[in-house]
Amino acid sequence: MIYYSDYLELDKVLSAQHPESDKAGQPAHDEMLFIITHQTFELWFKQVLFEMRSVIALFHRDYVPEADVFLALSRLRRTNRIMEHLAEQFTLIETMTPGDFMEFRAFLNPASGFQSVQWRVLERTLGLREERRVLRAYTDALAEQHRAELDAATAGTTLFDAIERWLGAMPFMESGDFTFWQAYRSAVAAMFEHDRDEVRTLAAAEGHDPSEALAQIDANEAGFDAIFSEPQYTDLQSRGLRRMSRNASLAALFISAYRHEPLLQAPYQVLDAIIELDRLVSLWRYRHTMMVSRMIGMRVGTGGSSGHDYLMQTTVRQRIFDDLTSLSSFLVPSAVVPALPADIARRLQFVNEARG
Amino acid sequence: MIYYSDYLELDKVLSAQHPESDKAGQPAHDEMLFIITHQTFELWFKQVLFEMRSVIALFHRDYVPEADVFLALSRLRRTNRIMEHLAEQFTLIETMTPGDFMEFRAFLNPASGFQSVQWRVLERTLGLREERRVLRAYTDALAEQHRAELDAATAGTTLFDAIERWLGAMPFMESGDFTFWQAYRSAVAAMFEHDRDEVRTLAAAEGHDPSEALAQIDANEAGFDAIFSEPQYTDLQSRGLRRMSRNASLAALFISAYRHEPLLQAPYQVLDAIIELDRLVSLWRYRHTMMVSRMIGMRVGTGGSSGHDYLMQTTVRQRIFDDLTSLSSFLVPSAVVPALPADIARRLQFVNEARG
Amino acid sequence: MIYYSDYLELDKVLSAQHPESDKAGQPAHDEMLFIITHQTFELWFKQVLFEMRSVIALFHRDYVPEADVFLALSRLRRTNRIMEHLAEQFTLIETMTPGDFMEFRAFLNPASGFQSVQWRVLERTLGLREERRVLRAYTDALAEQHRAELDAATAGTTLFDAIERWLGAMPFMESGDFTFWQAYRSAVAAMFEHDRDEVRTLAAAEGHDPSEALAQIDANEAGFDAIFSEPQYTDLQSRGLRRMSRNASLAALFISAYRHEPLLQAPYQVLDAIIELDRLVSLWRYRHTMMVSRMIGMRVGTGGSSGHDYLMQTTVRQRIFDDLTSLSSFLVPSAVVPALPADIARRLQFVNEARG
Amino acid sequence: MIYYSDYLELDKVLSAQHPESDKAGQPAHDEMLFIITHQTFELWFKQVLFEMRSVIALFHRDYVPEADVFLALSRLRRTNRIMEHLAEQFTLIETMTPGDFMEFRAFLNPASGFQSVQWRVLERTLGLREERRVLRAYTDALAEQHRAELDAATAGTTLFDAIERWLGAMPFMESGDFTFWQAYRSAVAAMFEHDRDEVRTLAAAEGHDPSEALAQIDANEAGFDAIFSEPQYTDLQSRGLRRMSRNASLAALFISAYRHEPLLQAPYQVLDAIIELDRLVSLWRYRHTMMVSRMIGMRVGTGGSSGHDYLMQTTVRQRIFDDLTSLSSFLVPSAVVPALPADIARRLQFVNEARG
């Protein structure tokens, strides 16, 4: 016999709110809101971690069955809606004014800032590299036990690793004398050549100098070398501007180019959901930073430094999946995309639809 | 030394998730979402109850200082944003499909339905009368201990009672030979008389029969008797169509009519926030009903009855503050509203602005 | 050379706001909000209709390629997010109080209510049957030209029709001596028989009377006849409690039961997206009804009738895809679902994964 | 006789969607979404501008009646909810994938980026100084006619100017030998002195060195000089770290310190609403930047520069009301705030409550 209240362990959950201002004999009404907001954040972080670990497990295998790509997609989308909801949740804590916060802020000292172990675990689980983190101080502020928990919880595969592995193992990119990236490169070159012809024809007809327009086309084409040229890619990696392996990046480009093939539809949505997740993690940080700056001000000290700017830098720089977001730069209209060899095209269909 | 994790009692909060499907050895991934969704609902219900009790305490006094009206308004508005957030939270549980739910639904038996004690406490605290509740069965399904808790928690003043008392004690409605509702009634009568003149003049000029238009005006005017005529008001009360005292209703109309006077601005926003709260409680029920019907279907039995329709009836009928919402029917344009006597007008100002 | 402002035809869009209160020489500040809210509603309705027509075209064919099911799914999901956004948009118009509305309400006479042609077109395009509509008066209030437009715009296939056709043509449901619904019925019967055995064993061991529990199981099993028994299904159809053909309903049940097979994943999400769309159309109406009742009150006339209750009935009854929502009643845990014959199972895979 | 469709000028609004991809004979389904999203943005920008101009008019007077402060507050809050809704609206355009965008992106050339005149007008109307804008290129890309419109539309008073003027004219800050900021400074000094005593007592009892803790207190106290010391304030202004006059800043601090006095409640909410507006304008830019970077990628050229980082810098730096947000740094608990002289306290009450 399951009973709602027992099932949800409400005796524990609902007895865990003890405002410090009450203990100090100076009850501040708004401290309850502060506590409940953070507790619900933590509960949802637990859910997000639960989903992320299942997604990593689904992708981190030698072979990922197609059914599981779709399953992982559902869980990524759920995670995204949770993250949206959590970003929105700052609206609730913002019904507390800085003046109201001041009434109990001193009682929380020195728990200033945000010492959530789960959030740190989440960042690392997604694949944030510690060295990129501007505010190492956050981790340093954790209790030893929690730092150990953090390390233990994040010793395994990250979402970044799992996705890179899955992409890197993508078949379908070669067949006979077809190699996807070379065919794509040729098509892109032909597109730009066509653009140059048009510019020259127009310039001749109208009698003006085409050199500026041609230079622009050259620059655009050169931009594609960032992914086509292996040395350039390696160089970008060494400078920290690329992180994912070139193979994995090319597989992501392949998926984007042929996203309407039945077997690539879910993978394309997966890439898009991961880009969205990266954005929503950033959005959560952004909202958090804005909330903090409103609550405690952006004290402009004699040195002129600003905590707000510092925090905001963190928000801006800590993207994990830039490699995927930046792929849009290498897309071309579907009319330009080279046709797939018949055998590859066939293997991207369902049995009941495939011909030949 | 306060430490984030201790302060939030995360050891309790984050160790309270034990899926039944795990215990049964048939882990269903989505049960975690089910648990966390309900736990966060309960945490926010605690917050909403906390705010509501403070609002009741602010209003349930012989005299409510103006500063406290504004304070209560802030808390009502906070509550409304929380309720909006909670209605939106159904979007998260709806990322679970009925098929996914089926994988662990049987393990929850017979905790079907929604046995939240806090929600029942909240309904009663706002002022929902048990006799109006269609689904008494919900309360009957509670454990004896919880039924006792429910009764104890709701033995005091309800928000409805507190607001009715506050409105009923509104001064400013009489002064010398000015009585607000009689002056308002005369103004309304003059407005309709003016409308009749226009209809008659137009009919004479165009040579058509004014009787239909005049009958419509008569009907509109008669509608105002629902609040102006004491016997009619009493009759509506006896039939359950009015609940609030006539005095309180007239005070609410007074506030609405003179809402731009400095002292009435916050009270008008309070009335509006309560109407919104009523709507948001209804919205929460509506979203809940829709979620349930999607999850367990709307089984159309051989008898043709439908659980969905039944639940939806509940949603529709359980409004608490109809008396306030329906006041809009008695508003008139500000040009029609009678001027206030000078002494009343003066008492509605701030000291630094008042003249005379 | 495309220029932002020309491309968006902003000269037309931004010059279409002319408050009636301005024309009357009694400018009411909030009328602008009223106009812009309704204009943005209408723009988004245009978008929703555009998406719906494309979804209908994708499904209303003799054969729907699998790639197009996924494409339709993307557009249904977009539509749902738009509808969510529009329901939320009522929050903006609700920043106007009933008192503010009263300042210009009279100038809009008799454009009371909601005479949106596009909304009517949308309802019909989704498949709402006019005879079910409680408020035919809405349609009657349209100008003749708009009634003609409404009829012309909705002469074609509805979303309901297209989905019913697509489901009705579902292959895979029979093979050799396997017939899905009969195999499913047998599995359900075995499940209930197993439940009965457990009840009897427990009753014997504990020495109590099993008849009540057995009667409950019988009732549950009988509920399944609503879909298994053809005469019963036909009877429900004749009483208006079922609308979709039994074949289409069984196909939807098939998709739900085998939703993890690669080829059925997108179709299952399509069914779920349509249930959500139905819910969101209902939510929009619900929010609209609540907004109207706040703005113009719920005048309780001498007859005691209430416009609010009347409108709310409409909201409750006007679901279009009840047939799909109610399917949850017929789901069983995946362990109970009968195995598919090998040849069907194979045809639900991708070429690159299929064996045999 | 007003008719819905005529009133809303739907013939204009709904006939203003002409996708370029259609004109080019290569219809791209998602261009309609692109157009409608931008048109609804523009309609809401018109509404926001309408509200902002009315708020500026209310504040930009020699004397602002208290009733109008509340009225302005309502309009600021409405604006904030609209801005929230608009930030959320990016979710809709984000249902379009970068691949879908690529299908019509070329047809929009060179209308890349965001050439909204109204957004520029809005930025300037709020008080953004052109010299602070990182991307002057946006303005340069406007047609001459629109640049002229922009200049004409923003020749008047900005929200920043109006608020600064209103704050600067705040009475109540001096009376007899009471000067608010000096009394506040003394109270702050006493608070820090009390802190030092505690540190010294504790250090003596526990036998450790108090110098580090005392140095921290000194630093905290020194931080307050940024507002108390006129030379320091002037220095911060000259370095662009303060913009608002010191008088206006002190008035804002006064309002915050005595926010529970009846007459200061609405002004405090006004300051808070403006801080929120600033945040929401920033949030809109943030969401816009994220959307652009997803759609067109963050091309990492050979130079290693990134358009995304550049845009994000803009988002970070373009706050308008930093002066108000940073005031939180100077708040102290209400127990520390000095009592007001009786005559000032009295003038902050309503007539019906004031004594003496």
Please name the residue of chain B whose CA is at the shortest distance from the CA of residue C287.
B283
What pLDDT was estimated at residue B155? 85
Residue spans of beta strands (DSSP E) within chain D: 174-175, 178-179
**Do C116 and C41 contact (CB within 8 A), yes or no?**
yes
Answer yes or no: is pLDDT of D305 > 50. Answer: no
Structural contact between residues D270 and A262, judged by C-beta atoms closer than 8 angstroms: no
pLDDT, averaged per 10 consecutive residues of chain B (356 residues), comes to 90 97 96 97 98 98 94 97 97 95 86 76 90 56 82 88 96 92 96 94 93 92 93 93 95 96 96 96 91 74 47 70 92 94 94 80
Contacting residues of B for D266, CB less than 8 Å apart: 70, 265
Tokens standing for C274? 């349509």
Contacts of A345 in chain C (CB under 8 A): none
For residue A138, the distance in angstroms to the closest alpha carbon of chain B comes to: 12
Query: In Å, how far are A90, A331, D98, D202 from A334, measured between CA atoms?
Result: 41, 9, 12, 74
The count of residues in chain B is 356
Return the number of CB contacts < 8 Å for A and C: 60
Task: Give the model's pLDDT for residue D301.
Answer: 35
Choose, out of D221, D294, D320, D334, the residue to mutate when testing the contact with A (most A CBs < 10 Å).
D294
- Tell me the torsion sign for CA atoms B44, B47, B49, B51: negative
A chain contacts of residue C70, beta-carbon cutoff 8 Å: 262, 265-266
What are the structure tokens assigned to B327, written together? 């006041």
- Residue D208 corresponds to which amino acid? H
Are D46 and C33 in contact by the 8 Å Cβ rule? The answer is: no
Mark yes or no for CB contact A5/B35 under 8 Å. Answer: no
**What are the residues whose beta carbons fall under 8 Å from the beta carbon of C10, sequence distance 6 or more?**
D39, D42
Task: Extract the residue ranges of chain C whose pLDDT is less than 50.
Answer: 134-135, 300-305
Distance CA A135, CA A149 (A): 19
Tell the residue number behind the tokens 């929010």, with chain if given: C287
- What pLDDT shows up at residue D149? 82
Q: Are D315 and D285 in contact (CB under 8 A)?
A: yes
What pLDDT score does A301 carry? 35
Of B13, B78, B92, nearest to A85 by CB-CB distance is: B92
Beta carbon pairs, A and D, within 8 Å: 142
| Dihedral of the alpha carbons of C99, C105, C107, C112, in degrees to the nearest 10 | 180
Domain A31-95+113-175+244-347 has CATH 1.20.58.480: yes
- The yes-or-no verdict on residue D119 having pLDDT over 80 is yes
Residue with tokens 């003038």: D347
CB contact under 8 A, D67 and B263: no
CATH number for the domain running over B22-184+218-347: 1.20.58.480
From the list C105, C223, C294, the residue facing B325 with the nearest CB is C294
C interface residues, A as partner, C-beta within 8 Å: 65-67, 70-71, 171, 260-263, 265-266, 346-354
Alpha carbons A224 and A192: distance in angstroms, whole number: 11
| Minimal C-alpha gap between B99 and chain A (Å) | 13
φ and ψ of A199, to 5 deg: -60, -45
Structure tokens at A211: 């050199």
Closest to D8 in 3D by CA, of C111, C251, C235: C111
**Residue (of A324, A339, A319) closest to A251 by Cα position:** A324
d(CA B326, CA B333): 17
With CA atoms as reference, the chain A residue closest to C345 would be: A351
Q: For D9, name the nearest residue in chain C, comparing CA atoms only.
A: C16
* Candidate from B65, B171, B349 with C-beta closest to D351: B349
**Distance from C-alpha of C345 to C-alpha of A204, rounded to nearest angstrom:** 63
Record: contact B265-D346, CB cut-off 8 A = no
Q: In B, which residues are within 8 Å of A34 by CB distance?
A: none
Which structure tokens are listed for B135?
Answer: 């689904």
Return the closest-CA partner of residue D126 out of D231, D289, D267, D280: D280
The confidence score (pLDDT) of residue A114 equals: 65
In angstroms, what separates the C-alpha of C199 from chain D's closest C-alpha? 51
Nearest to D2 among C50, C81, C111 (CB): C111
Calpha distance A122→A53 (Å, rounded): 10
* A66, A346, A353: residue with CB nearest C353: A66
Chain D residue with CA closest to C33: the answer is D47
Considering only CB atoms, which chain D residues are within 8 Å of B66? 262, 349-350, 353
| pLDDT, tens digit, 9 for 90 and up, residues A176-213 | 999 999 999 999 999 999 999 999 999 999 999 999 99
Strands C178-179 and D174-175: unpaired
Whether the CA torsion D345, D349, D353, D356 is positive or negative: it is positive
- Answer for the pair D259, D61: CB distance below 8 angstroms, yes or no: no
Do residues C304 and C106 lie in contact, with contact meaning Cβ atoms separated by under 8 Å? no
Nearest residue on chain A to B83, alpha-carbon basis:
A92
Q: Find out whether B34 and B104 touch, Cβ atoms under 8 Å.
A: yes
Pick the CATH number of C23-174+259-297+307-347 from 1.20.58.480, 3.40.50.300, 3.90.1150.10, 1.10.600.10: 1.20.58.480
| Chain B closest-CA separation from residue D136 CA (Å) | 38
Q: In the complex, which subunits touch B with 3 or more CB pairs below 8 angstroms?
A: A, C, D
Distance from CA of D147 to the nearest CA of C (A): 12
Q: Residue B75: name the closest of B269, B229, B209 by CA.
A: B269
CA dist D100 and A328 (Å) reads 11
Residues A109, B39: C-beta atoms closer than 8 Å: no
| B-chain residues near C332 (CB < 8 A) | 102
Min Cα separation B289/chain D (Å) = 26
Closest alpha carbon within chain A to B106: A2
Instruction: Give the pLDDT score at B302.
Output: 33
**Ranges of H-type helices in chain A:** 4-7, 10-13, 20-23, 31-59, 66-93, 98-105, 117-126, 136-140, 144-153, 159-168, 180-206, 211-228, 230-238, 246-257, 262-296, 307-317, 322-325, 342-347
Which of B260, B262, B352 is closest, CB to CB, to D347? Answer: B352
Is B111 in Cβ contact with A95 (below 8 Å)? no
**Which among B95, A69, D346, D87 is positioned nearest to C352, based on CA atoms?**
A69
DSSP assignment, residue A276?
A: H
Min Cα–Cα distance to chain C from D105, Å: 11
Question: Least CB-CB distance to A3: which of B12, B36, B111?
Answer: B111
Q: What is the pLDDT of residue D341?
A: 95
| A301 to D226: CB separation less than 8 angstroms, yes or no | yes
Ranges of residues in chain A whose predicted pLDDT is under 70: 110-114, 130-140, 298-317, 356
The residue in chain A having the minimum alpha-carbon distance to the alpha carbon of residue C260 is: A67
Check: CATH 1.20.58.480 for D26-169+261-330?
yes
Structure tokens at B244: 């609030």
Q: Do C43 and D43 touch (CB under 8 A)?
A: yes
| Best mutation target, C31, C97, C322, to test chain B (most B CBs within 10 A) | C97
At residue D304, does pLDDT exceed 60? no
Segment D290-294 shows an average pLDDT of 88
Q: Are strands B178-179 and C174-175 parallel, antiparallel or unpaired?
A: unpaired
Are B262 and D349 a contacting pair at CB < 8 A? no
Neighbours of chain A (3+ CB pairs under 8 A): B, C, D
Q: What gap in Å lies between CA C59 and CA D154, rounded to an integer? A: 52
- Reduce the DSSP state of residue C185 to 3 states and report it: helix
Name the neighbours of C, counting chains with at least 3 Cβ pairs within 8 A: A, B, D
Q: Closest-CA residue in chain B for D63?
A: B353
8 A C-beta contact, residue C162 and residue C125: no
Question: Which residues from chain C sit within 8 angstroms of residue B282, using beta carbons?
Answer: 290
Residue of B nearest to D344 (CA): B352
What residue in C sits closest to A265 (Cα-Cα)?
C70
Residue of D4, D33, D108 with shortest CB distance to C116: D4
| Closest Cβ opposite residue D352 in set B265, B347, B352 | B347
For residue A5, give the nearest of B12, B89, B146 by CB distance: B146
Residue type at position A41? F
- Touching partners of D (3+ C-beta pairs < 8 Å): A, B, C
What is the C-alpha to C-alpha distance for residues C67 and A258, in angstroms, rounded to an integer?
Answer: 12
Inter-chain contacts counted by CB atoms under 8 A, chains C and D: 144
